Structure 1
């Protein structure tokens, strides 16, 4: 699909407010944030501290935002941030964060303060969407004065902690719908011509080009490879149109692009990209891959 066939807007012209309103009317609720996410968060209240750090307030609905924190928070320990659901449609990011919280957070709290924001974009989760109701991509909006409520809320909360982070792990997916829906929609919104890239068949990481920490990324890839397959590069040695830095790893200018992984000064950062549409990958496998990322990243830091 190219922007010339996208059903909203005028080819070659950026969307106006009417186009964005038209887009919003075509979105619909497909699953429940309350039932599938908040319920799981509340089940962990006996083990972890649950804090509401904000609320999204849209015409499309109000959504409370939650973090989970390890109980024995101590400023003498390094602090780790785990984020999921920045793109709400990327399901294993949300449930991988929650699974880690349930199964491993307490173990690692011996070494770290851990802050988990499992679902930064709950409306996106419910509508299986990359954007928020205002047709803004939260994962291009992590900068001062952000236009995205989702991005602004978590940035303000992390700033309020007044702690330096040692690591930030942002959990994402790359899906076939990136080519079938989200990239065409982006081109239509921006009035540009869409050119799809090859969807990598497997897991990969996106590192921050300003602090790539190649050994850190490799340790994660080696661990995830025991759970799910790592994406091979294409014929141009690229993944999603970006040169591969090492097997399963590409670099992005995170802060320049307004990416979630770029908004802190943590020295160890990575963005995961699980591939849920692989015929060989189950939903459970995708969740376990996300958990493997977190545990291997923390193990690496412990063993420095």
Structure 2
């Protein structure tokens, strides 16, 4: 448990005034148009770049998808999403690094569909929520309250029947305990209970389609690049019982998580720990890329 968050009153959910007060404290810390958009545009030689929407906030943010240059309608689709939580940097950069390194690797096997930065405002302000104090990664359902989630779903839905694999790239950071969980508890008028931050990489599978062998294959691939988080004294990660080494499960559909937005039989969410003394920013990016590679290798082996 932590001290009361500085916005709102204990036990009382935020109303519009508190949300506005929270929004007024947010500041721009980095630039989507300088950091991310050029990396996306640089991939136009190897991938098709499509703008699938615009986020309408004080700043208008164009949203981009990357597609295999030679799209084959009869091939299964591999969906990669990053930056649903914009502050989780290696999710964004990992998606882009994978696109740069492997744009043509799977030509003729799979169609690649990559949404590298679903929440640009969150990227710029290093935030989990959007400007309306809504978490996009709890908002992937019909009539979503988050523009970020609704626009992504509207775009991805046209490929729904062909998506075989969806991997959503995330991080678990120290700020989960220092800022984001206390803010969440305050917003919802609840008591905050922090979790143990796992030191290392782990996966969150979907309880409705856990695919244990698939998750295990990804963990094995990532182990070649970076360390896997050990369970805590309760045999749990972030308060959830471990299903197998490095893997926990959430009901993604019930919770409105990004990995629950498709009918893909193989889905997972990655989590790296960038604050670990045993890793580096590049190592975190490499871990994300290895996770995608491991997931696709497993899918290819099922053919």
Q: TM-score, normalised by structure 1?
A: 0.98
Deviation by residue 1:49-97 (Cα, 9 ceiling, x = unmatched) = 0000000001x32100000001111111111110000000000000000
Identify the residue that residue 148 of structure 2 maps to in structure 1: 150
1:55 equivalent in alignment to 2:54: yes
Equivalent in 255, 260, 263 of residue 261 of structure 2: 263
The correspondence for 2:186, drawn from 188, 199, 205, is 188
**2:95 and 2:298 mapped to 1: Cα distance?**
18
Instruction: Indicate conservation of the 8 Å contact 1:164/1:265, yes or no.
Output: no
Distance 2:178 2:148 in 1: 25
Contact 1:57 1:63 in 2 (8 A): yes
Aligned to 1:29: 28
Preserved CA contact (<8 Å) 2:82 2:91 = yes
State the TM-score, normalizing by the size of structure 2: 0.98
Long gaps (5+) in structure 1? none
CA distance in structure 2 between the aligned counterparts of 1:109 and 1:217, rounded to whole angstroms: 24
Aligned-residue offset at 1:202: 0.6
Aligned partner of residue 19 in structure 1, secondary structure: helix
Give the counterpart of 2:99 among 94, 98, 101: 101
- RMSD of the alignment, in Å? 0.9
Cα deviation code 1:79-129 (max 9, x no counterpart) = 111000000000000000000000012111331011000000000000000
**Residues in 2 aligned to 1:41 and 1:107: alpha-carbon distance in whole angstroms:** 18
Q: CA deviation at 1:245?
A: 0.1
Whether the aligned pair in 2 keeps the contact of 1:75 and 1:163 (CA below 8 Å) is no
Distance 2:255 2:59 in 1: 28
Runs of 4+ with >2 A deviation: 160-164
**Partners of 1:246 and 1:70 in 2: how far apart?**
34
Q: SS where residue 287 of structure 2 aligns?
A: helix
In structure 2, the partner of 1:240 is 238
> Does 47-56 or 101-110 show the bigger shift?
101-110
